Amino acid sequence: MLLHLARPLAVAALGLLLSQASSAAVAAPTLRYTLSMPAPQTHYFEVEMKLDGFNKAFTDVKMPVWAPGSYLVREFAKNVEGFEATAGTEKLRVEKVTKNTWRIYHPKAKNFAVRYRVYAFELSVRTSFIDAAHGYLNGTSVFMYPAEEKQLPSTLEVKPAAGWSQVSTSLKPAGGTFTYRAANYDELADSPIEIGNQKIYTFTANGTPHTVAMFGDPKVDTARLTRDMQRVCEQAQKVVGQNPLDRYVFIVHNIDRGTGGLEHLFSTTLSVSRNAYSSEAGWKGFLGLVAHEYFHLWNVKRIRPVALGPFNYDQENYTRMLWVSEGGTEYFSNLIVQRAGFVSPDEYLGDLSNGINRVENTPGNRQQSAAESSFDAWIKYYRPNENSSNTGISYYDKGEVIGAVLDLMIINETKGQKNLDDVMRYLYDQYYKKLGRGFTDEEYQDAVAKVAGRRFDDFFRRHVYGVETLPYEQALGYAGLQLRVAPAAATEASLGASVSPAGGKQTVTSVVREGSAWQGGLSVGDEILAVDGARVTDDVNRLLANRAPGSEVKLLVNRDGLVKEISFPLLANPLRRYRIERQASPTPEQQVVLAKWLPVQK
């Protein structure tokens, strides 16, 4: 009898569970974006968000304040206009509650739509742009997201302007014309889109299809372009030795003056001078940019400090490791171009010498460490002023030379068996694949120690978190190399200031820390009228040529509308020239280190 009664109870319970599951399935929220551009010449994108199944009394939607990969709060909400929300024909109440948050009240409606316009007229790799020729967007500067549903999958339909036939993006198709899907907002935000009539080229690297979308119609040998890009990509994949891709897209803007590149999860945007391809130096520079941004798909996008994902789009995401993420990528990108056979080992050493020159001739290198430079990227690197070179150092430049020194130390310590590539492989396996997270500062040092077989804590303390000069001579000596250092001009005095002739005036634009002008009281903004009683008509430096250190200079300057005279002694030019050279008779051990570091391509 008990068994007989239990069966209908079980059936009823099962029916209730099925009913609840069905209700939950119906109520699951969905998100669909439509991107339109009916009047591209006005520089506006139009966005519609359809939010279905949102069961609360109100929903907050947000616009990010920054673009990952570019460490500056850019306040993208400033470009938003005409924000409104509707449920059917009913206009919903909307309230802006923070600088980048809009609250939509919909107590009786589960389904509603949000519409707004975005002014987009900044053609850089970090922002968005549209005009009569083409449209380009980074997701964080155009697409909002439901604040509590950042992980919600979405679809995106792109409606190109009249006469435009191409949409290039790494987002996967979702069925329908120019319709795509994103697993979550992070993927949507990290998948830039080029819209217009760009030219499309393709190649395959290690079995993965790669697309090159070229805007700007440059004069370039496209066969050579795709062939050389393929070589760079294949060489880059060898560093970590694992290919996480099933597709990759290069968006290339060929404009008057290029602005660099920005990495994304399955794509990159490159901004290149349209004349860059016409010279061998320009060609190699382009390949270096390709290598840098492509290598980011490992270093930053998958091998990353803990702060760089998941992202907080509302504020700064601080890390002291950009010298690894950006400077280390620059180091590897130069190695990749060399390993691919586009530059010789000696040409590479010349480029590295230039990097050492940039670091050691920057006064701020003795004021700010690589770790501090990384942390302060948000307030310093993207906001330079006339004193920046005195107070800071680029984490790109410093990270590159730290990478070279650290690599040589690892190679030497392991007798040519291991190098910095092995550190990247370990980080990829341990943190990206196994733990699914980024690494801490300490864990990066642990990884180096694991590969090298000993710790380099003192090196990190003094040269990464401190400002002591890197042990260039020691590290290069491991490879049978030496660093030559010479004064820029042993008998040459220096004003210690940069002077611009703009507008027919000789105006001071920067003053070098501890230099002649610094100590003598010359200031940025001073207009130099005369030198030692001679009227200045052209280059001030010409009037100071051949002056000996210690000689006195008398300047007549206009400062804030008042004329005054300044006198001070000229100091010797503080600049030094650094050049890496080969030793005459390297030992077998040194040859092993050099061969591991800079293998000769056959």
Q: What confidence tens digit (pLDDT) does each residue in 148-187 have?
A: 999 999 999 999 999 999 999 999 999 989 999 999 999 9
Average pLDDT, the chain: 94
Where do runs of H (alpha helix) occur along 199-242? 222-240
Residue 22's pLDDT is what? 47
Q: Does domain 300-488+583-602 have CATH number 1.10.3720.10?
A: no
Q: At the top level of CATH, which class does the domain 198-297 belong to?
A: mainly alpha
Closest CA to 349 of 482, 444, 175: 482
Residue 6's pLDDT is what? 44
Burial of 272 (0-12, 13-18, 19+ CB in 10 A): buried
pLDDT digits 0-9 by tens, 247-286:
999 999 999 999 999 999 999 999 999 999 999 999 999 9
Residue 538's pLDDT is what? 79
Mean of pLDDT values over 338-352: 97
Spans of all domains in the chain: 26-194, 198-297, 300-488+583-602, 493-572
pLDDT reading at 370 higher than 90: yes
What region, left, alpha or beta, does residue 480 occupy, with left being phi > 0 and alpha being psi -120 to 50 degrees? left
Q: Which fold has domain 493-572?
A: Pdz3 Domain (2.30.42)
| Cα separation, 44 vs 37, whole angstroms | 7
Residue 600's pLDDT band (boundaries 50, 70, 90)? confident
CB contact at 8 A, 182 and 158: no
Residue 209's pLDDT is what? 98
Residue 99's pLDDT is what? 98
Enumerate the β-bridge partners of residue 96: 102
The model's pTM is: 0.93
Residue 27's pLDDT is what? 65
Min mean pLDDT across 24-33, 216-225, 331-340, 507-516 is at: 24-33
- Which residue did the predictor score with more confidence, 432 or 18? 432
Q: Which fold has domain 26-194?
A: Immunoglobulin-like (2.60.40)
Alpha carbon separation from 55 to 50, 179, 205, 258 (Å, rounded) = 14, 27, 47, 47
pLDDT reading at 318 higher than 90: yes
- Tell me what percent of the residues of the chain surpass a pLDDT of 70: 95
Residue 405's pLDDT is what? 98
Tokens of 167: 């949409």
pLDDT digits 0-9 by tens, 216-233:
989 999 999 999 999 999
Residue 24's pLDDT band (boundaries 50, 70, 90)? very low
* Whether the domain at 198-297 and the domain at 493-572 fall into the same CATH topology: no
Q: With residue 8 as reference, give the H or E element that holds it.
A: helix 2-27
